[in-house]
Structure 1
């Protein structure tokens, strides 16, 4: 994805290319699914190159859409997890004022129109995200139906959600991004360092009980945008899986505003995070010691097995 889009944050040590991916796909005798949310950021020319490179395969475009009330906080938080520095208010204001057009690249409408125009209408599919409280398998069932995965082919195990961080936890990460300066300038080293050793094992397991939301002052803005998006999709020739009405927010209850977040709450979260890091370090140390012990045992057995048996 990063190679196809030629993004400036691509890790210079990365070896995979789009052409390499296509070469591997051509060797596969059956259907191939290529998926990455970053593909939404491709330009029209990059999307055209991607679809053309897959010829003469029968290319389908599958997009998942969800309501903006959930999308906006999720996209901002994901941007912070990817090294961004801006606050939630700065993020929202930039979108309102048209200064962050790239946000729309990762929404169903922009993705479907940019990529869908490259294939016939019967090969364009939009799957709507079920509302909160729906059975966990609904989204999978919709996707499986589109790509032709029959019942019983895949074993549906325990569902693992991608938990959102709470307001003080994500604010702590945002401030850390500022403090990192020019360290971790590329995405993969950042993910290997910060996500692997801080976000995933520690921050995701913190309290995260102080949820945040867009705010009542932007409720009507969200509702107006929603109706525009639904009308655009109804008018676009494509296969709709689910119901476009599900793009309307089902629950617009408010969470904490970042204006209400105190320095004390951020400091308490920072201290809890340090404690969590100490526990994580102890756990890693135990795993290393166990690995060393297991390796030493295997080596001793191998040496015993190869030593010649002495004569009496």
Structure 2
């Protein structure tokens, strides 16, 4: 039976890709240190979609939450499960998730960052998940209380209430994302301290390559999503085609020079929300790793939004994307040709050896 199970449930856009890259790239060393990551990152994601019973679960998925729990139960040491989409589970699903690992000592780990950075990051992530709404319509929906999913999945307050209340206070951990400019391993060290990972066990690479797109590039993607209609309607085929061949291979490799964010006309609203968030979290019994003051926005300044771009800027980014796609297609063709030639050489060798035999 597992001794302790750490459920890292979110939030998205809080450095989770970086943390997960370190975890999975060091899974062997962690296992030797007595810490198991059951399954693979993909299988843990499949278990998450089973737990949440989402409509976009991959029909080919085989791992369930119970399967994940069974694997964990066979391990005598500590277990880490990390998937930032777990935070979107309902109260009933969260209760099922925790109970599946009992009587092991279950810990809930939540990361949170300041809202000034969260708003543009979350909207961009939604576009990269096939949504088509504009940035201004997204922020307006949140402001008017018409998009509660944002608060449910992207702030530590509500996730801790749904998940943290299921375990004793000493097993609730809130990690704040440090501001820009600090050493890139600061966030990892905070997670490692919670997980109980000894120093030196994991080799750290640079920051995770889950890079943000610029205003023009993300607007190109949003318009592509609009034009797709009912093609690649679900998460898995969209990731295999659009995310892989357009976002990762092309758009992320572009200039992405024009940063975007919330306009200064909403700066006071965001600052007030931050103070409310800090107050609620300071009153919630849990371990805070970092500093709640890091949830106060800093460096707020006027920046454009993708909605304000003229069509010329979007057209330029789209043309660059087409050029990038041509290069990507050419490279794929070269890989196919090389693979074909290599197989042909091997086949001819087997034929010659057969004839000699």
TM-score, normalising length: structure 2 = 0.83
1:236 equivalent in structure 2 = 284
The equivalent position to 1:48 in structure 2, one of 95, 99, 106, is 95
Contact 2:107 2:172 in 1 (8 A): yes
| Structure 2 residue 195 is matched with structure 1 residue 142 | no
Match of 2:128 in 1: 81
What's the counterpart of residue 262 of structure 1?
A: 310
User: Within 1, Cα distance between the matches of 2:353 and 2:303?
Assistant: 64
The size of the alignment, in residue pairs, is 309
Match of 1:68 among 108, 115, 127: 115
Q: Which structure is higher in strand share? A: 2
CA distance, structure 2, for counterparts of residue 162 and residue 197 of structure 1: 15
Query: Residue by residue, what CA displacement relative to the aligned partner does 1:1-45 show, whole Å, maximum 9, x if unpaired?
Result: 111111222233322221222222223332211111111111101
Q: Is the 8 A contact 1:144 1:150 kept in 2?
A: yes
Structure 2 vs 1, CA of residues 306 and 57 (structure 1 numbering), >3 Å: closer, same or farther? farther
What is aligned with 2:146? 99
The alpha-carbon deviation at position 249 of structure 1 amounts to 1.3
Residues in 1 aligned to 2:280 and 2:241: alpha-carbon distance in whole angstroms: 41
Q: CA deviation at 1:49?
A: 0.6
Alignment partner of 2:181: what SS?
A: coil
Structure-1 separation of matches of 2:344 and 2:200: 43
Q: Deviation of residue 259 (structure 1)?
A: 4.1
State the distance in 1 between where 2:272 and 2:356 align. Answer: 83
Of the structure 1 ranges 17-26 and 72-81, higher mean CA displacement relative to structure 2 is found in: 17-26
Query: Helix, strand or coil: the match of 1:32?
Result: strand
Q: Which residue of 2 aligns with 1:189?
A: 237
CA distance in 2, matches of 1:140, 1:227: 26
Q: Name 1:204's counterpart in structure 2.
A: 252
Is the 1:132–1:250 contact (alpha carbons within 8 Å) kept by the matching residues of 2?
no
Tell which deviates more after alignment, 161-170 or 254-263.
254-263
Q: Is the 8 A contact 2:218 2:306 kept in 1?
A: no
Distance 1:160 1:293 in 2: 35
User: Secondary structure at 2:288's aligned position in 1?
Assistant: strand
Alignment of 1:1-312 (within 5 A): 1-106=48-153, 107-305=155-353, 307-308=355-356
Consecutive unaligned residues of structure 1, counting only runs of 5 or more, are none
Worse-matched range after superposition: 257-266 or 122-131: 257-266
Q: CA RMSD in A?
A: 1.4
Stretch moving more, 136-145 or 31-40? 31-40
Structure whose CA Rg is larger: 1
Structure 2 CA distance, aligned partners of 1:183 and 1:251?
A: 40
1:231 aligned counterpart, secondary structure = helix
Instruction: Kindly provide the CA deviation profile for residues 186-209 of structure 1, in whole angstroms up to 9, marking residues without a partner as x.
Output: 101111110011100000011111
Q: Distance in 1 between matches of 2:281 and 2:238?
A: 36
TM-superposed CA distance for 1:109, in Å, is 1.4
Unaligned runs of 5+ in 2: 1-47
- Cα deviation digits, residues 122-171 of structure 1 (max 9, x gap): 00001111100010000001100110111111111233332111111111
Q: What is the rounded CA distance, in whole Å, between the counterparts of 1:124 and 1:173 in structure 2?
A: 38
SS at match of 2:103: coil
How far off its partner does 1:121 sit?
0.4
Moved more, 93-102 or 244-253: 244-253
